[in-house]
Structures are given as structure tokens and as C-alpha cells.
Amino acid sequence: MEHKELAQTILEEMFVRVKGAFSANPSDSDGAKATYLATKRISHPDYFPKYFLFRVPTGEIPDSTVENSLKEWNGLPDGSAVSTICGTLRQFKTEGQLIKFLRKLETFERILDETRVPVVVRAVYGISPELSREYAGLNSSEYDRAIWFILRLIDERLVEHAKLQTMLEEIVEQCQETLFFVSIVDRCRRAMRVNLFNIGQVANITRLRELGIARLQSRFLQDKKDIFEELPKDWPSVLHAWCTTWDSETENHQPEVQSYSVGMLDEHPNYLGIWLQSFMTSNGGLGGPKFYYEEFCKIFDPKLIVELLEKQLSQALQNDKQKEAAGLFMQIYRDKQKGANDSKIE
């Protein structure tokens, strides 16, 4: 019995979850896991093998590299801090290690002085146009990991309401990558659901929406930039956010977005086919292609699209995919019209 108690004491000291298992109130929260990671406890799965390998696992970034980077950033002169941090981030990107580096920065972010948090945030959103969207290791892309890192850093370190709001507003107003700031507003809107509790409780989401809409209006309405040329892959997400004001229940900008979009058809009649194809997926052979009609209609009035197709069919549809998408759209539209007419008869 004496040896059993001794063994249990040793295991409880080494493995926090063992101690919790013998506790009257066992707990294993995400916060506790983060603490195990930051303190390099043997009980965390990221550190368990390191205690027996006696070396950094192949492909891993040494903790000391990340810790030294954060300490260096604390001492950088204000005038060169952002550019220096950008240089470090680009170096890890070149080496294919940026996702791992950002993940480790999250682990050791407490080393970073609070006064340096805005500087690091500026560096990350500053390189956002260079980040890859392709999913790599750790089930993430450089782009998504950068967004998550920024929001986690703000949520964890800028707990004072005014500082937190000011930083979020700066990103929306200053970030040059359109989808990046659009995604920041969207994540803030869903903050409580993605464990960004500080942002969820105190951020002024209405204000962030206003700033986001103002930037989109300035760029594409006032400056007359072509969103379909400028953002060939991102425009559906950006226009969805713009039209719905990030799923606001009280504000909708669909009329101005539709007017802006349709106004381009005289010069670019092929855009109509591009719009339709962008909302069709092949479904990988599972049940055939699918057209996302409801999402499409949050941007475009379906009745107007039908009228435009009838007028510009030969010019609008440039390939078989676009013709297939138009066919799926028309079928859904007719089915819904028929359903509406049947309901009136009943």
C-alpha cells in the first residue's frame, strides 16, 4: 500500500490528468491544457516524447527559437519593429514553417510585453497578402492560422475594452487584404462560438460592421474597382458579407451590391456565367453537381438573373460548366415558382 501511494504521488506530480482523475472534481479544460503546454509539462502530448528523445523532434521548431524571438521583439526600436517582425515571419514562411511558428507563438505569447501586441498584430496583417490559402499541416492554412493568431492574441492580451476595440478597428480600416479584414469581422461576430470570449463580450461588432462596409463601398463603389477582376476567388465571400452586413438582422446592402455588379455586364457580359458557376460544386461525384441557390440569392435577385439570362444567354455562358450551373439555377428557380403558385391555388 505504501508503494502504491508513493507511485500515485509521483504520477500525480508528473501527469496533471492523473491527479484530476483521483480528485473529487476532475477537470480537463482547454485553459488547463494550454497551461500544460506553456509550462512544458510532460503530461501534454506535445511534450511527452521530448522528455525521452532528449532532442527536438525532426521538423519541429525549438522552443528556444520562439522564446528568443519574442524576447527580441520586446526590445526592438519602435521605428523598425514592424518591419523586423515581418522579416522573421517571412523567413519562417520561406522555410515552410510559418504555421508551426504561429502556433508556438500562441503557446509562449505571455513572454511578449503587452505594449508589443499591437506591433505584432500589424506585422501579421501586414504580410496577409503573401500568405498561402492552401491547407497544410495542423489542419490549417497560413492564412487561417494568421487570422486565428491575431484574434487569440488580442483576446488574451488586450483585455482592456478600449485597447481591444481600437486594435480590431485598426485591422478593419488598415489591412490591405480585403478578405482578411472581412474574415476578421466575421470571426468577431462569431467570437463566443470559437472561444474568443473577451472579444465576444466587449467588442463593438456593430462598429466593426460599419467600418467594414465603409471600406468596401470606398474601394468598389467610389473608386470604381472591379471586384470580380481584383478578387476572382474571394468575391463570393466578400459580397456575401457586404450584402448581409455579416448576417446582420437589421441592415442589408443587397440593392447597392446588385446595382454595382449588374452595372458591369455591359462591358463584361461573361460575368453572369462566372457568377453562376461560382455557386456550383461538383460534389466529388456524390449525387452530382449542386447549386447553392439560397446563398446565391443573398447577393443576386433570382428574378433579375433569369431576365438577364434570357437577354444575354449567348454572351453570358462561355463554357459547359457555366451552362450546367445556369441549368441548375433555372431548375431550382422554376421549382420554387411552381411551389409558390401551388400554394396560392390551395
Half-sphere exposure of 225 (CA within 13 A, CB side): 14
Predicted confidence band of residue 44 (pLDDT cuts 50, 70, 90)? very low
**What average pLDDT score do residues 49-75 get?**
80
* Residue at grid coordinates 508513493: 6
* Residue at grid coordinates 489591412: 175
pLDDT at 112: 97
Contacts of 188 (CB under 8 A, 6+ apart): 151, 168, 196, 199, 203, 205, 208
Q: At residue 301, does pLDDT exceed 80?
A: yes
* Residue at grid coordinates 461588432: 205
Domain ranges of the chain: 61-155, 158-257, 265-340
Alpha helices in 108-204 (DSSP H): 117-126, 142-157, 161-174, 178-189, 197-202
Q: At residue 346, does pLDDT exceed 80?
A: no
Q: Is 280 helix (H, G, I), strand (E, B) or coil?
A: strand
Instruction: Write out pLDDT tens, residues 187-222.
Output: 999 999 989 999 999 999 999 999 999 999 999 999
41-62 in b/e form (b: 16+ CB < 10 A) is bebbebeeebeeeeeeeeeebe
Predicted confidence band of residue 109 (pLDDT cuts 50, 70, 90)? very high
**What average pLDDT score do residues 68-74 get?**
97
Q: The C-alpha cell of 154 is what?
A: 488580442
pLDDT at 29: 52
DSSP state of 339: H
Q: How far is CA 1 from the centre of its chain?
A: 54
Half-sphere exposure of 197 (CA within 13 A, CB side): 3
pLDDT at 41: 54
Round to whole Å and give the CA distance between 303 and 295: 15
Q: The C-alpha cell of 194 is what?
A: 470559437
Predicted confidence band of residue 11 (pLDDT cuts 50, 70, 90)? low
